[in-house]
Copies of this chain bind each other. A is one copy, B any other.
Amino acid sequence: MTSQPVNKECRVALAGLGGVGRATATLLLSRRERYRALFGVDVHLVAACGSRAGVASAEGLEAEDLDHLEEGQTGPAFIATSGADVLIEAGPSDFRTGGPGLPYLRDALTTGRDVIVISKGALVHDGAGLSALAQASGSLMKLSGATAAALPTIDLLQYNLAGCEVLAIEGILNATTNFLLDAMIGRGISFDAALKEAQAAGFAETDPRNDVEGWDTACKLLILANFGLDAGLTIEGMQVSGIDRLSEEQINDWRAQGLVPKLIGHLRKDNGTFHAGVEVRALPPSDPLALVTGKNKAVRITTDLMGEVLAMGCGSEPRATAAAALKDFEHILAKRFG
């Protein structure tokens, strides 16, 4: 690290104090010395709030302050008052309404704050609107945390493959369904039994529909396509099916053939038109995607000039998502202070 003189300041606010939000705050605060050394910037967490309570400090919060929230200290105006330069949005995701993150993001982008988006709801519900606000105000909008987090996905489209035309995307983007399919094909247990196991282990939600019906995968693919390829997808325009209706017969059939079923979010560009959907595909074992087991995720991108690039990976949550969001933060620091 090259030491830089510190004469600059970056004030960060956090909306969303669930596991990922708190992990992000802790990691951010633990890296303040790094930000000073690398970018010459003093980073302060000036506000943090959940849905009903929050805490702010112009001098910057410490990790323990997040245990002492004040009721009513929340909402876009609370964040605006904090004077934050960067908003990290980590609220619950609801793609049908945009979720609680939507008003925070709209306000931040309208007033020229940079944003790091971790929840998917607002990006799916009104991605075009948010992009327009960002463009008008000059805000940066980063969204690794909303697109498979530690696995590089949106980065691949926006950075690593710059200049190439993307012809197709296939992704295993949802860990819960991948874990369930593994159990079904590997151990021959039913969908219901696998789901109960995963729920008992705290690894599937009580209401698992968002995952098992394919919507979570669809949302991630849509965000990738719209923000990475300007594809203009809508969730209604995607053919989405999940793993909840697979019969044991079908599973046994695939097993007998040596095939490995995976829930694949897929996109194809034909003559300039994008076609996208989510479905279970039975892959031959020679396909690297067939080796993406358990909580791993993967994406394969086919391009005109760089051939196929496949990325797979997995980190322990919530720290991996926090680390992905703060990777975005470093790219903002590099752009604003580099």
Contact = CB atoms under 8 A, between A and B. Distances in A.
A164 B291 contact: no
A226 to B, nearest CB: 15
A327 B291 contact: no
B163 A326 contact: yes
A295 to B, nearest CB: 9
A164 B323 contact: yes
Given A152-B160, A163-B34, A291-B288, A305 B319 contact: yes
A163 B327 contact: yes
Nearest to A303: B315
Given A288-B288, A291-B288, A306 B163 contact: no
Contact of A155 (B159, B308, B319, B327): B159
Given A160-B155, A160-B160, A150 B291 contact: no
A31 B163 contact: yes
Interface string A314-338: 1110011011101101110001001
A258 interface: no
Interface residues of A, number: 46
A307 interface: yes
Contact of A310 (B31, B34, B312): B312
Most B Cβ at <10 Å: residue of A152, A159, A313, A323: A313
Interface string A284-309: 00111001100000000001011111
Contact of A315 (B291, B292, B307, B319): B307
Nearest to A324: B306
A162 B309 contact: no
A313 B316 contact: no
A61 interface: no
Contact of A320 (B307, B315, B320): B307
19 contacts: A150-B306, A150-B309, A151-B309, A152-B309, A155-B159, A159-B159, A159-B331, A161-B327, A163-B326, A286-B291, A303-B315, A305-B320, A306-B313, A307-B313, A307-B314, A307-B320, A309-B311, A310-B313, A335-B338
A140 B87 CA distance: 30
